[in-house]
Structures are given as C-alpha cells and as structure tokens.
Amino acid sequence: VSQGGMWELIMHGPDGTDYPNRSRFREIVKHKRISFDHISDPRFTFTADFTDLGDKTQIDIRMVFESAAIKNKVVTEFGAAEGMVQNVERLDFYLQKGYPASEVTFTRILNADRDLVFKAWTDRGMLSKWWGPKGFSCPTCDFEPRLGGKIYIEMKGPDGTVYPMDGEVVEYDPPRKLRFVSAALDQNRNRLFEVDNCVTLESLEEKTRLTLKVRVNHIKPGSEPYLKGMNEGWSQSLERLLNFVES
C-alpha cells in the first residue's frame, strides 16, 4: 500500500456473482488518512480519516462521485450506504475479536486443469502434501471422497505441536464442487468450533478458478487462538496447493 499503488479485488455476492474492483491509492498518511480513486465503474474517490479517541478510533468516510446521478444510482441500486455501514461493523468485529465475522472468501487462479485440482482436495495422498500453513506437515490425513465421508487430519507445526481436526463431506459434485465441515479439536477431542468450507472450481481452458468460502459456526471458549490465524493459515495453504498442482 503506497501512493500511486494499485489495489485490485473481487467481491463475491451471496448468489455467486463476482464484483471486480480496481483502485489507485492517491494519499496514504500513516494513522491519519487513506484515500484512493476507484477507477472501475462506478468511478469515485474514497477517503477515510482516522481520529484517535484514546482507546477508540473515529472513522470519517467520504465518497465523491462524478455526478449526483451516479451517486444516487449507487446508493439506491447497489445499497452502497448500507454496505459501507456493514463493512465498518465487520471491521469493528475483526479488530475486537481478532478473527473475521461470519464468512470470508478466497479466490485463486491455478495453472492446472480442474480434474487435477479437485483430486488434490480429495485424494488423501495428495491432500497431505499441501494441507496446512507453511512449515506444517500432515502425518495423519484421512479423507473419504464421497457424500457423508469422514475426515480426520492431524497437522504438525514446526515446533512439533499436533493440531487434530475432524469433519465430514456434506456436498460432493466432482470436479465442480466440494463442501465439507471441519472442526478443530481440543485436548479432550471436543470440537472448539465448526467451519463450513465450500470449494467451487471453474474451468478456464487450461487453468482453474478456485473459490473457497469459509464460514465459522458454533464458536466455543478457547477458540480465539485458532481463529486469529485462520485467514493467514488458509492463504498459506492455498499457496502450497498452487505450488503443488503446478509443479
């Protein structure tokens, strides 16, 4: 993030619609201001000013459009005002809890065909090669590739700590879709929380678009250390998957 730098992202709607966004940062003042020009339609300038209020922070957000007509369209048709309120509420939740509210989505383009990518998710031998953050291994990796199939994985961290998890397959539509529920286990093999993981694969000629939607449910006390690292853990796992199928 720097002045003149580009920011590209794709938001995924609940109905699966993709909303690509491209912006260029125009001003970055550490701890005080972030401003960027949204250069894909609709065009606007976004500015967020941050005011220190002791143990709280006030955020003032302004969005300037090219015309009142465009602004009105964005507010009425796209629900921009309500969307911004929800974004700030989710940010507040994340800063207080250390993990995202509700649902997070990851998207990757892999230089491999869809059949291979799907197999990498469902073949226990292949799954064990990439599952887990950087530096982790999977000495135990059981995955039954069928509807209702059981999952049991033990990840081993660089310090030797073992992290067990179990789960089950709830949707199985090869090679298009895989959905499974997984759960981190405490020392007594009780579930700390459940994660609904939905993997969708789209063929792009010789490449594959992977979309992973992750929703956390049934959070119990003691889950916080696991949830704080979940986003980064998935990012690193997907990077390992990308390297595995492209090697």
> pLDDT of 200-231, one tens digit each?
999 998 899 999 998 888 777 777 767 777 77
Q: Which of 232, 227, 235 is nearest to 100 (CA)?
A: 227
pLDDT number for residue 13: 67
Give yes or no for a contact between 147 and 168, defined as CB atoms under 8 angstroms apart.
no
Give yes or no for a contact between 113 and 203, defined as CB atoms under 8 angstroms apart.
yes
pLDDT number for residue 81: 80
pLDDT number for residue 76: 81
DSSP label at residue 111:
S
Point out the residues of the chain with pLDDT beneath 70: 12-16, 97-102, 225
